[in-house]
């Protein structure tokens, strides 16, 4: 655990320290596009934050390679090199897009090539656990197509959700914490060495997000851009592929009896194996809704709009910070709920807790729709925005005073200024004020 924490801290430190210089470089390079119709920020903000995140990834892999307890991962597995190759390619495509805004189809092709590069180096799905059937081995072409599809979907899901300050980095970080705990448990508890690369990827990804978040929280000083969102999406997909498609569930002694058991008996068994996919549940749902919405309107699925989940939260009435926190809440609920269920699927308290928190999440989503009526005796204990009665009374009183002031007749001028103005006269352009009574009459 100490080695993973050291790798996480080094990655976060390098990402954090490089983000400031990268921001200045982005300003000099002109990577500050004008505000578009779908943007929610008000001032042009530099991009290219993915540069700092990529060098943080490189630093994390370099440190892990020199640690005696993690060095064997690089010797026995080619997955770290596959990750670095695919990450470098997708990062270059993202940098070009942040500066020149390349076509969406070109980016899609680059994503598929990056996924193919990782597949060629051994990072691919070998088998799938299917409820009611068991462990199904995949052919080379099936594994390749499924791996490429998962990488592309994850990259675009994270890219689509990157619409508010700190949203993508925070959601990915929260989900990756749950994924790290799951992968570490599979490796330590069951002694499966195949889960070690996924655990390493998760620790590095957490460091990348934590190091960049201080610069990206609202109001953001720099955006990660496509160079960052596609990069963390690829690292996220690599970890899910590594542990879902290469760790044999039979080795974990999860199956009891026949593999063709009923679906009711097998679903709790496969929840831990599908847990890596739950970390992209919210971004994936946003991706599916965006494709359906744009296709229904006759637009391209890659056409940008303001219909994402975070945009709708702002339209409902949530503030920028509250919308981000709500998205954080749902990501944590799904990821840690799946993690808790994988540890003890027989506990009804876990299910009840998830249901209760889901209800709380729905209340938070609809909070601006409510008009809470706080009792008079409790108004001093709630924020001012919930003191609707006092606020309404004050507003009505202010409106009444303004109306009375407008209806009142103008007051006539008094004679108080007469003594001052009476002695004002102009002589050859000069002015004498208040001379009467101070000097004798010379006439």
Binding-site residues for Mg(2+) sit at 159, 226
Measured between alpha carbons, how far is 269 from 258 in angstroms, rounded to an integer?
13
Comparing C-alpha atoms, which of 22, 247, 224 is closest to residue 125? 247
For the annotated binding site, the residues are 159, 226
Comparing C-alpha atoms, which of 134, 140, 77 is closest to residue 254? 134
| Residue carrying the six token digits 């009467």 | 436
Continuous segment of H or E residues that includes residue 61:
helix 50-65
DSSP string, 317-384: T--HHHHHHHHHHHHHHHHHHHHHHHH-TT-HHHHHHHHHHHHHHHHHHTGGG------GGGGGGS-G
Continuous segment of H or E residues that includes residue 129:
strand 127-130
Do residues 195 and 48 make contact, with C-beta atoms less than 8 angstroms apart? Answer: no
Measured between alpha carbons, how far is 72 from 243 in angstroms, rounded to an integer?
17
């Amino acid at each position: 655990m100490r080695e993973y924490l050291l790798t996480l801290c080094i990655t976060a430190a390098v990402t954090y320290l490089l983000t400031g210089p990268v921001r200045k470089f982005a300003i000099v390079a002109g990577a500050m596009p004008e505000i578009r119709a779908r943007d929610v920020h008000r001032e042009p903000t530099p991009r290219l934050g993915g540069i700092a995140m990529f060098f943080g990834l490189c630093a994390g892999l370099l440190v892990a390679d020199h640690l005696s307890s993690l060095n064997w991962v690089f010797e026995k597995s080619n997955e770290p090199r596959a990750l670095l190759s695919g990450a470098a390619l997708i990062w270059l495509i993202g940098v070009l897009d942040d500066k020149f805004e390349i076509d969406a189809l070109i980016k899609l092709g680059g994503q598929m090539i990056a996924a193919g590069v990782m597949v060629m180096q051994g990072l691919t799905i070998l088998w799938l656990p299917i409820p009611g059937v068991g462990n199904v081995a995949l052919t080379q072409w099936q594994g390749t197509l499924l791996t490429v599809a998962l990488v592309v979907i994850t990259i675009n899901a994270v890219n689509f959700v990157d619409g508010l300050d700190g949203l993508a980095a925070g959601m990915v970080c929260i989900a990756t914490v749950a994924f790290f705990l799951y992968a570490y448990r599979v490796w330590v508890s069951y002694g499966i060495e195949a889960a070690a690369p996924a655990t390493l990827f998760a620790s590095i990804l957490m460091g990348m997000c934590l190091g960049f978040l201080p610069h990206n929280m609202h109001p953001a000083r720099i955006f990660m851009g496509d160079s960052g969102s596609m990069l963390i999406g690829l690292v996220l997909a690599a970890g899910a592929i590594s542990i879902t498609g290469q760790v044999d569930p039979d080795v974990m002694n999860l199956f009891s009896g026949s593999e063709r058991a009923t679906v009711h008996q097998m679903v709790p068994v496969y929840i831990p194996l599908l847990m890596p996919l739950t970390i992209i549940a919210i971004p994936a749902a946003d991706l599916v809704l965006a494709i359906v919405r744009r296709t229904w309107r006759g637009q391209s699925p890659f056409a940008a709009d303001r219909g994402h989940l975070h945009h709708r939260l702002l339209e409902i009435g949530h503030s920028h910070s509250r919308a981000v926190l709500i998205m954080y809440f749902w990501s944590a609920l799904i990821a840690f709920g799946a993690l808790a269920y994988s540890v003890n699927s027989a506990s009804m308290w876990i299910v009840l807790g998830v249901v209760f928190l889901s209800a709380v999440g729905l209340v938070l989503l609809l909070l601006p729709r409510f008009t809470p009526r706080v009792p008079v005796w409790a108004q001093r204990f709630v924020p001012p925005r919930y003191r609707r009665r006092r606020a309404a009374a004050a507003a009505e009183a202010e409106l009444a005073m303004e109306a009375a002031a407008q209806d009142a007749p103008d007051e006539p001028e008094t004679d108080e200024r007469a003594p001052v103005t009476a002695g004002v006269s102009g002589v050859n352009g000069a002015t004498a004020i208040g001379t009467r009574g101070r000097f004798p009459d010379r006439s």
